[in-house]
Structure 1
Amino acid sequence: MNIKKGVFCSFVFISLPKITAIKQQKRNPSRYSVYLDGHFVVGLSGITAARWKLKVGQELSGEEVSNLVRAGRKDKLLEVALSFLEYRPRSEKEIADYLKKRTFKRDYGFSSPEEKEVVLREVIDRLRELRLVDDRAFGRWWIDQRQKARKPKGRWFIRSELKRKGLALEVIDELLDSLKEGREEEAAWQLAQKKYSLLLGRGQKNAFTLRQKIKRYLVGRGFGYEVVQKVVERLANEE
């Protein structure tokens, strides 16, 4: 008698991971720790946890778990960016560079460099939505601070600084074009007077040498030729 072997297929039903606890963190009460099947998986801000409408007993698919973990990484980097912004306004490039440096020094658990880049872009986008990052507003603030400083800077020096901070050249030029020449000239004048007094105090008496040194000094501070020339002529008239 021939006996045919039957082929049996066994189906294994695997239950989805379940949220077993959502605990408020002791060190940072605004954040919550999420546990799946008794194991810690991710920390979330209260806002993100509420947005996800998480609750104990809720089952999550593999894709949902991955997205939740990614949201946690975004939350953490957003906190880092907000702390960085506490001291002064920042350009978009400053924040991006700072976050990249932080992710290089500390492991945030990214599965790939591509995922890290995506999350970093999402953080910057979120800061834009919150109006905490605005290169144009930052540029205006930077120019104002540079002109109010004890030793003001001229437009060419400021232009170079803003370029290094990642502002688009058309934005920089637009902001500097709106800078009133009289204000820049007054800043250069105040600086020239201080330098003039300092040189006199050091025994420098020759008028031509004094003016040349002040010219070089102002140019080194980023003031344009026309502004420097006006200031030096004004200084000569008051000697």
Structure 2
Amino acid sequence: MRKITKIEVQKNNASRFNIYIDDSFELGISDDTLVKLNLKKGDDVTPEFLTQIKQQEFQQQAIQQALNHLSYRKRSTREVYNHLAKQDFPENVINHAIEYCKMQNLIDHKDYVESLKNTMIRTTDKGPEVFRQKLMEAGIEDSLIQQVVAQYEVEQPFDKIVKVGNKIKEKKQGPSKKRQQYVQQSLMQKGYTLETIKDVLETLDFSEDPEMMDNLLQRDLEKVYNKYVKKYDGYQLKMKTTEALMRKGYAYDAIKLKLEESGIVDES
């Protein structure tokens, strides 16, 4: 019968041990494996028991990988599972590691969603739909998602969203209609609901400075006209130019007046 003849602490890692069987090095194990199997010098080692030691150590490695992954921030079950799967641990070993982490209260979806909610509200300009998407990607239960997303909407300060909308508005020049569309689209991309966006748009000031708008229309007219004059002329050129400017949000009457001021007339 083979026996454990020596157990020594590894030189570079005090939490790991080298196991010698019949005076020959057999394998390294963690202190958790050592304690769990109560290994000690003089123990008999059958082939079956050696397999058990190796299996326990393999399981412990998966647990340690999970603990390391959880040490940086809170994780969901899916996130831990995916991390261990990338390390090529089999499903049964992964599931056991996850159960261990849950027993230690290291994986807790209620705590996870609450923490993520508070962090996103405090540090980002993202709306509840982005929050919802992150929870879905993390594999959080639907019932919990619905509950916490509703809390997100209630707790996110409206004045902060208005500031986000105003910042977006200031980046865009042009007609009021086009600026409103730009703010709406940008807020939707940031995950805000249509109802919230509507309230924000009603709060923001989209009034236009006549002189600035006249200058912008003149600038855009020149750009559009110079583009289409290479392809069209006469009535068709005038209509193509008008349509392009209307798509930019300018009013038809303002475009017509600017065309006349610029000497662009229907030559058909």
TM bracket, shorter-chain basis? 0.7 to 0.9
Matched, 1:45 2:45: no
RMSD of Structure 2 on Structure 1 (CA): 2.2
**1:225 CA drift (Å):** 0.8
Q: How far 1:77 moved relative to its partner?
A: 1.7
Q: Which residue of 2 aligns with 1:93?
A: 78
- Counterpart-to-counterpart distance in 2, 1:100 and 1:144: 29
**Percent of residue pairs identical:** 25
Q: Does 1:206 align with 2:175?
A: yes
1:143 aligns with one of 101, 111, 117: 117
Displacement over 4 Å in runs of 4+: none
Shift of 1:55: 0.8
Counterpart-to-counterpart distance in 1, 2:157 and 2:142: 20
TM alignment of 1:77-226, pairs within 5 A: 77-103=62-88, 116-150=90-124, 152-181=125-154, 183=156, 185-199=158-172, 204-226=173-195
* Number of equivalences: 208
Paired amino acid for 1:21: K
When residues 145 and 72 of structure 1 are mapped into structure 2, their CA distance, relative to the original with a 3 A threshold, is same
Gaps of 5+ in 1: 1-14, 105-115
| Matched residue SS, 1:191 | helix
Q: Per-residue CA shift, 1:13-65, capped at 9, x if unaligned? A: xx2x3112212122221112223233444433223312322110011344332
Bigger helix fraction: 2
Q: Which structure has the higher relative contact order (CA within 8 Å, separation 6+)?
A: 1
Provide the C-alpha distance between the structure 2 equivalents of 1:75 and 1:174, rounded to a whole number of angstroms.
Answer: 36
Distance 1:173 1:38, change over 3 A: farther
Q: Which entry has the higher C-alpha Rg, 1 or 2?
A: 2
**Residue 230 (str. 1) matches residue 204 (str. 2):** no
User: CA separation of 1:40/1:139 partners in 2, compared to 1, >3 Å: closer, same or farther?
Assistant: farther
- Cα offset, 1:184, TM superposition: 5.4
CA deviation digits over 1:91-122, x for unaligned, max 9? Answer: 11111111111127xxxxxxxxxxx2221111
Local SS of the residue matching 1:236: coil
**TM superposition shift of 1:205:** 4.1
Q: How much has 1:155 moved relative to structure 2?
A: 1.3
Q: Is the 8 A contact 2:32 2:60 kept in 1?
A: no
Is contact 2:33-2:53 (8 Å) kept?
Answer: no
